[in-house]
Amino acid sequence: MLASRIRSQIRPILIAAFAVFVLAQIVALSPSSVEQNDPDAEVDPQTLLDDGTSLAEGIPKEKIPDYSVDRFNYVSTLNGRKNWKLVAAKAFLYNGERIVHSRQVTAYLYDSNDQVTLVKGKEAKYFMDGRDLEIYGQVETLFPDGFLMKSDYMRYHPDERRIVIPVRWPVSGTSGEAKTSQRIDFTSHGLESFMERSEVILSENVEVNFVPATSGSATPNTTKIRSDRAVIDRTQQISHFTMGRTKPLDKRFVEVMQPTLYARGRRADLSYGDFAKLLDYMTLFEDVFVKELPLATDSKKQTRYGTGGRAEFNAQKNIILLKEFPQVYQDKDTVAGDVIILHRDSDVVEVENSNAFSEGKAGDEN
């Protein structure tokens, strides 16, 4: 039966409640605001009741918690090392269910070098005999390198130092502001992040925008990539884009879009870094189609199409290399060879070992 009074001894009582697993975890509870009042003052049990509108799943409803703590502070450890720390405005402890439910939370996730990933959300839940932590509601995750991720749910597995968002949850992220440096923005359904190797896996319905640094009022030449799945290695600055095998073959393409370019292939690798243009080098593989698009202000520039088994995009030189039986179509002309180089800032087409040049129908836009 819930005690009708809360005295200053609440702290040792709460610590004792966790003694069963004190070797694996450490609990630090800051005193409740009630402790600062008259120790003989009665407390209304209704003030200890969770409000029943929880976002977190599995919280006992219409049940008074065994303990209610203001300014909650909890540290999870393993073998003397911190896994994560949770700070909350209020926490509710359910001993029978072994659940701790807290509100207005900030979590500190520690990697092997004690670098901190900061997570904020409306609610958190964890089991007293476990180490995983769940965060609910307007979750913002800030990685040590400034990469910011937003979702409405995340789960942290400290044994693997892995963040997981199931595919039923939309997620978005950004690497920062594209003012003096480049920026990566993305949206996805579901995500995994491995803190130890700075790797982010986007699970489904992926759209990634690589935005170069802005210069004055100039419009940035954003590269947009759509795929079913993407793996972003933030240490090596390489991204891999693939498509799901269950999708129909005629729809199974990674798509690349720029203001003056549309391209697609079965998969794509993209390298990015600190260059004048964010996109440094990109490769499309298998059944490649490339279409150059003239700007509205450049009506004299003709549309060019290219096909092949491989396309390499060099942003610094502003060229496209088509390989593996490449062909290029411009107006009514067709050119083929072993390697074709398209100069994107001019109409120049270089061909290595040209084996055909004919007048015919322009390439299919589809």
Q: Domain residues of the chain, as ranges? A: 1-144, 160-366
- Quickly tell me which residue has 């200053």 as its tokens: 8
* Range from 10-14, 114-118, 173-177, 243-247 carrying the lowest mean pLDDT: 10-14
d(CA 68, CA 6): 10
Type of residue numbered 293: L
pLDDT, tens digit, 9 for 90 and up, residues 340-366: 999 988 878 899 877 655 555 444 555
What's the mean pLDDT in 92-107? Answer: 95
Predicted confidence at residue 51, as pLDDT, reads: 60
Predicted confidence at residue 29, as pLDDT, reads: 43
What's the mean pLDDT in 199-227? Answer: 80
d(CA 245, CA 252): 8
Sign of CA dihedral 161, 167, 171, 173: positive
Predicted confidence at residue 109, as pLDDT, reads: 95
Partnered with residue 84 across adjacent β-strands are 76, 109
The answer, yes or no, to whether residue 34 has pLDDT greater than 70, is no
Predicted confidence at residue 260, as pLDDT, reads: 87
CATH architecture of 160-366: Sandwich (2.60)
| Proportion of the chain above pLDDT 90, given as a percent | 48
Predicted confidence at residue 164, as pLDDT, reads: 97
131 vs 37, which has greater pLDDT?
A: 131
Confidence of residue 28 (pLDDT cuts 50, 70, 90): very low
Q: Distance of CA 22 to CAs 26, 75, 110, 126, 205, Å?
A: 6, 11, 19, 16, 43
Predicted confidence at residue 37, as pLDDT, reads: 38
